[in-house]
Amino acid sequence: MLISADDLAKLTEQGARNFIVTPNPYAYFARIAQAFIDLAAPKATPGMHASATIDPSAQIAPSAVIGPHVTVEAGAVIGEHVRLDANVVIGRGTRIGAGSHLYPNVSVYHGCKIGERVIIHAGAVIGSDGFGFAPDFVGDGEARTGSWVKIPQVGGVSIAPDVEIGANTTIDRGALGETRIGRGTKIDNQVHIGHNCTIGKNVVIAAQVGISGSCVVGDGVVMAGQVGLGDHVTIGPGVILGGASGVFPMKHLEGPGQLFMGVPAEPIKDYLKSLAKVRRLK
């Protein structure tokens, strides 16, 4: 049994039971479970499937596993013990760090950098164009003419080691600089991160979060499901954003450990007061 020292002290009768005493039983359990899963999982054989398409200028480590119908373009570098499952596409000049695992149908566009031990789940897209268009219109109403002019997105995406990215998540490349994801950050399924964002270390982002361009998210931030950030928002280190909360463009939230809720997001005490007032309206 896994147990903390505090819980062990509370037991009046321990009997003949055995305990593993640890400061964090939940994390200890996770590591034990990982070890058993690793032992039980079938071991992939290093090498390239015959159907893979590898540019002659790409560098593939001998220990890498390249699955069926994988495409690796010119100048890409695939590190030691990397696993690329079926139909993965790695763009030109992209680097995949040692020990990373990309599940089926992941696409990593050109010029991206993926760190060591990164996990990217099926269908994720890394380095697609940011949503940048300049308006070029004249006139009003039915007489209005012109178009939206695409702004070339020539930056990249840089993902630090030990990041995990969920299925069907999209992370846009920067317009000029890089979109950055910090070490140890965990991103759920169906999340969108816009161009030129900087996401800090050990951030947790739950499903269906949408982050607009040029946002800064500090270390240790927790974002619950369906949170939305407008463009150029800054979220300070350690802030917690509750489910479906929204932060308007250009706003700055601070307060390590403080929970924000609502649209626009406000500290939980203020949110509950506002909610109570709304419910009293007749």
The tens digit of pLDDT for each residue in 188-238 reads 999 999 999 999 999 999 999 999 999 999 999 999 999 999 999 999 999
Domain, as residue range, for 24? 2-40
156 with 18, same domain: the answer is: no
Task: Tell me: do 23 and 131 sit in the same domain.
Answer: no
Q: Is the previous residue joined to 104 through a cis bond, with omega within 30 degrees of 0?
A: no
- Same domain for 72 and 190? yes
Q: Do 19 and 65 fall into the same domain?
A: no
Per run of 10 residues, the mean pLDDT along the chain (length 282 residues) is 84 72 93 89 91 98 98 98 98 98 98 98 98 96 96 97 98 97 98 98 98 98 98 98 98 97 96 90 76
Judge if pTM exceeds 0.85.
yes
In the block, which residue shows the tokens 């700055």? Answer: 252
What is the model's pLDDT at position 15?
Answer: 64
Residue 239 lies in a domain: no
User: Which amino acids are annotated catalytic?
Assistant: 195
Rounded to an integer, what is the distance from CA 231 to the centroid of its chain? 18
| Cβ count within 10 A of residue 155 | 20
